[in-house]
Amino acid sequence: MTATQPSRMLGIGEKFPEFSLNACVSREKGKEFAPIANKDFKGSWAVFFFWPLDFTFVCPTEIAEFNKHAKDFQNREARLFGLSADSEFVHLAWRNNHEDLKDLTFPMIADYNKSLSSELGILSKQNGAPLRATYIVDPDGIVRWVSVNDLSVGRNVKEVLRTLDALQTDELCPCNWEKGQATLG
């Protein structure tokens, strides 16, 4: 993988790229870092959400909101992964210095060389940082949903959960469908 801008963004029905990257997984001394790879979510639903950079303004609001709903993702048997182009050391420093990030329950993956962001086609053409992209990947490693926001606009975590619920029904779900409502199939 190279950190060059591909001609298009990876989309629905395509295989999520193979990767192995370092992550900040804890603030506990000696247990802060671990490698994360495809094997860590094989056979499970996975949600990957990218933010541009650590120590910014919109990003911690999103990360904190995903963490607030971490049990909702666990209840759906979905693994949650956050990523940016910062190193795992910067992730740890940010977690240690931002009250809303101290008790995260999911890994902060370091796409430091922008290899995964590049392969997904989500690097901003303006500044080279990852866009606010969210991927839902099924247990077979296939991308089932992609949402990408401009750098200045935070995403809606409840919509990610709603979409995950709809995908997990394996049925036809009408507009604004929510878990517990009738499907069309």
Distance, in Å, from the CA atom of 98 to the CA atom of 66, rounded to the nearest integer, reads 15
Choose the catalytic residue: 24, 59, 173, 175: 59
Answer yes or no: 173 catalytic. no
Q: How far apart are CA 125 and CA 129, in angstroms?
A: 8
Rounded Cα–Cα distance for residues 177 and 95 (Å) = 35
Please tell me the distance from the alpha carbon of residue 139 to that of residue 77, in angstroms, as a whole number.
10
Q: Which of 121, 43, 134 is nearest to 80 (CA)?
A: 134
H or E element at residue 97: helix 88-97
Chain position carrying tokens 């606009």: 153
On whether the CB atoms of residues 9 and 122 are closer than 8 A, the answer is: yes
Burial of 51 (0-12, 13-18, 19+ CB in 10 A): buried
Catalytic residues: 59
